[in-house]
Structure 1
């Protein structure tokens, strides 16, 4: 029976696991940790005193 021949299925499953273990973790990690937090830039605003 050709379904029981492990040669093509072993190769297919091996390549599928290699793809899952090599290519997917970096893609998943970019969604978990999208960017490093950065400090907002401080700007000096010129304000005028109120004249009540």
Structure 2
């Protein structure tokens, strides 16, 4: 059974991570968010108190 031979495991591990590190980062970094956040002012909006008729 070839899976019991531990000799190629390290090379398989290294090739797998090399492929992951060369293919995935450009795909992740190319992602753009559809809604860019816009800066808001430092003033907080004035809120009215809630009406609690049952209290």
Whose helix proportion is higher, 1 or 2? 1
Q: TM tier, shorter chain?
A: 0.3 to 0.5
TM-score normalized by the length of structure 1? 0.45
* Structure-2-length-normalised TM-score: 0.43
